[in-house]
Structure 1
Amino acid sequence: MVILIKLGILHLKYIEVIENGQAYFTFVNFTLFIVFLVIYATANDKSSPYEEIYPEIGYKTVDDALEDFEQHFKQKLKLPLRVPPISFTHHFGRFSDLDGVNNNSFELKFINDQLSENHYKIDVRPIKNNIPIREKYVIKTFKLKNGVVANYMTISGFNVLVFERDGWQYMLSIDKRVSDKVTPETLLDIANSIEY
């Protein structure tokens, strides 16, 4: 019924067009076009699944990305055996072999398409190309089982545990919105699960 009333108003403006000139006629056509676009866009507004989106931006299976990384550096990479105690629907890997040796890194991403806050990421790069840690961002310092120092900090909406081992810098990042479920100690347990 509301649509009929709006169409009736538009029809009256169309009648005015005949009496007063073409300005209203253009307005009516433009309004109908906008209404059509809004209805069409709403009906077809379906987001693409992660299985389509992530490969388009360079992600692939974790095994394939890990193999690319290891072949590039001619060295095996150990990953944590544990993950945070929250649910994930997808996991992807990406080896970034960008221009210049300093930019090469491996990224492992765990996400949940129903709960955006369930977002966990592991970034690994050679120590010689590490991301410098600024002391002012360090909230707490831990020692891993192997004696290595790990710095816990907050960066851009993520809680991050950074440590170095076997020639690599590891950054374990978890969305701050799940910090009640994934504590610094949880990230420490995950980091210690590399010991195998």
Structure 2
Amino acid sequence: MLGSILMAGALLLGISPDHDQGINKLQDSYDQQIIFESGGELVEEAVRACEKHFGTAVNLPPKLPPVAFTHQYGRCYDMESGLDEHLEIHYLNRHKPDNDYKIELYPLENKQQLKHLSFQESELTDHTTAKFYKGPTNTLQLFVFEMGNWQYLLTAANGASSEIRQQELTEIAESLTQAVNSKDPAYATWGTLAVTEAKRKYNMDVVDYLYMGRTKISSELAEEKFKLWLKEGAREFGVYVTVAFHPTTHQFISIRFEEI
């Protein structure tokens, strides 16, 4: 774990915000090249590599922290890496160092003990035990829990302006437990999100719900579409809600509304 933190830090050296769009594009491309040359790869490729290496399915939390990221990459560490074997998914924003979030999955037989850290213990809604550690300012926050064959480590920066806190990490863990334990159809998670966000956007009740199907746009993008009917007093109307997500990692990308 420490080695991967150091690698991520090295990737960010010398990177600073620049407001010129052309330079930004060149810098982003250069950053991505450095990441891949350092062993990083596309998230879905890293997930597939670890599923093949460990011989078991990988489930990632559908929810991401509510902050912007400029880069994301993954890596499946095997014995040749010199680190404990695990999957790592890293999200970062080169303009905002505090927007830094990482997911690490270790097989339970090789889970990290982390006995040197002082954890605050809690329980998720499905009674899964979770542990939270918050280091000094400008270090890290760590949320740890186990599910299926994996130990999950969710790591976020602990900077003065960080918007990723214990609550956000807990909600991310809860999104995974709900997705894994749900007996509802695969689209149910996105349907719940569509209803919740529509109620928040329009401040109205959702009185009817229709699932309209999934569209796979590419290997990195799929969409679930829903038709909702909203009502508040004498006012009522319909709205199409389209939720975009990554079909392999099942992580949320965007949501859009189209009033009927």
Q: So what's the TM-score if we normalise by structure 2?
A: 0.53
For 1:177, the aligned partner's letter is G
**8 A Cα contact 2:98 2:162, kept in partner:** no
Percentage identity across paired residues of the two chains: 27
Asked if the contact 1:109–1:122 (Cα under 8 Å) also holds between the matched residues in 2, the reply is: yes
- Which of residues 102, 105, 108 is equivalent to 1:127? 108
Specify which structure has the higher proportion of strand: 2
Question: Does the CA contact (< 8 Å) of 1:162 and 1:172 recur in 2?
Answer: yes
1:42 maps to: none
Shift of 1:133: 3.0
Aligned residues: 150
Structure with greater helix share of residues:
1
Assess, with a 3 A threshold, how the Cα gap between structure 1 residues 134 and 63 changes in structure 2: closer, same or farther: same
Tell me how far apart the structure 2 counterparts of residues 125 and 79 of structure 1 sit (CA, whole Å): 12
Moved over 3 A (4+): 99-102
Counterpart residue identity of residue 108, structure 2: I
CA distance in 2, matches of 1:133, 1:87: 29
Q: In structure 2, which of residues 168, 176, 186 is the aligned counterpart of residue 186 of structure 1?
A: 168
In 2: Cα distance, 1:116 partner to 1:180 partner? 9
Residue identity matched to 1:163: F
Q: Secondary structure at the match of 2:53?
A: helix
Q: Deviations over 1:68-97 (max 9, x none)?
A: 000111111110011111110111000001
State which drifts further: 166-175 or 147-156.
Answer: 147-156
* Distance in 1 (alpha carbons) for counterparts of 2:121 and 2:113: 15
Write out per-residue CA displacement over residues 93-129 of structure 1, whole angstroms, 9 at most, x where no aligned residue. Answer: 0000124998210000001121122110001010110
**Rg comparison, structure with higher value:** 1
Q: Which runs of 5+ in 1 are unaligned?
A: 1-45
Output the TM-score relative to the length of structure 1.
0.70
Matched, 1:103 2:84: yes
How big is the shift at 1:178? 5.9
Gaps of 5+ in 2: 1-25, 180-260
